[in-house]
């Protein structure tokens, strides 16, 4: 997923400090550092933190959970979390930590895909919609992104703004594994049969070979002020 101008939304300047929660391999941390922002990467996975550290040796990284940040109160100017909230059974501890570590006037950006709105072209759209439910079942809170605005407002943030960007994929190979996992999850939940899954996956693969594959996912970017 691209950064979708999150730097602009966070309104950060050179010398400001920003924490990237759920930083993964550190792509956004590298972008922050390139913009002369003091970046802090947080992720619970030590392996990806190691990769991120090698990508941007000058940044600070911690292995920690989003609900328990190893940062001082009111110590950062910006807070970014991408692809985090759909993994959280309870978002409130993470939001409380975001508010705690942000300085008054600091900005927050929550970025994520709403898995309830994945558009895939198919000869059998009804079956595709059912398999979409299988894709949703792989996350704890697959539709969390649509609640970002409510979460920020309920947590006391102001000037909350919502932007939606489309991730468009025409290369079947980029989503092949996800589609197979979604079909398998649908079978496990008894939503479809193995025959349904095999036929649908074969159709999607054929679309890929014929350059007729199309997937569109909405990415929400919701920003606010502490």
Output the pTM of the full model: 0.90
Strands (E) in 27-89, as ranges, are 38-43, 60-63, 76-82
Residue 83 CA to residue 219 CA, distance in Å, equals 10
Residues 19, 44 contacting (CB under 8 angstroms): no
- pLDDT confidence of residue 1: 39
Residue 83 CA to residue 86 CA, distance in Å, equals 7
Q: What is the DSSP letter of 5?
A: T
Pull the structure tokens for residue 198.
Answer: 């095999």
Assign 32 to helix, strand or coil: helix
For 88-135, the pLDDT digits (tens) are 999 999 999 999 999 999 999 999 999 888 899 999 999 999 999 988
Is the pLDDT reported for residue 2 higher than 90?
Answer: no
- pLDDT confidence of residue 160: 97
For 170-220, the pLDDT digits (tens) are 999 999 999 999 999 999 999 999 999 999 999 999 999 999 999 999 999
* Domains, the chain: 6-225 (3.40.50.150)
For 146-165, the pLDDT digits (tens) are 999 999 999 999 999 999 99
Nearest CA to 223 out of 128, 81, 46 is that of: 81
């Amino acid at each position: 997923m691209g950064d979708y101008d999150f730097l602009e939304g966070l309104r950060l300047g050179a010398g400001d400090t920003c924490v990237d929660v759920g930083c993964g391999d550190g792509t956004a941390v590298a972008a922050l550092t390139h913009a002369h922002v003091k970046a802090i990467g947080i992720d619970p996975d030590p392996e990806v933190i190691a990769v991120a550290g090698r990508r941007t040796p000058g940044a600070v990284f911690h292995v920690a959970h989003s609900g328990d940040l190893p940062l001082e109160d009111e110590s950062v100017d910006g807070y970014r979390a991408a692809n985090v909230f759909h993994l959280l059974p309870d978002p409130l501890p993470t939001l409380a930590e975001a508010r705690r570590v942000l300085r008054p006037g600091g900005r927050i950006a929550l970025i994520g895909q709403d898995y309830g709105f994945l558009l895939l072209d198919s000869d059998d759209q009804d079956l595709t919609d059912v398999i979409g439910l299988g894709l949703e079942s792989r996350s704890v809170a697959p539709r969390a992104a649509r609640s970002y605005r409510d979460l920020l407002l309920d947590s006391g943030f102001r000037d909350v703004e919502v932007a939606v960007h489309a991730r468009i994929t025409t290369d079947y190979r980029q989503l092949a594994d996800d589609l197979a996992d979604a079909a398998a999850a649908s079978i496990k939940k008894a939503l479809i049969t193995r025959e349904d899954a095999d036929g649908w996956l074969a159709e999607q693969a054929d679309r890929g070979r014929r350059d007729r594959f199309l997937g569109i996912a909405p990415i929400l970017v919701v920003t606010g002020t502490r």
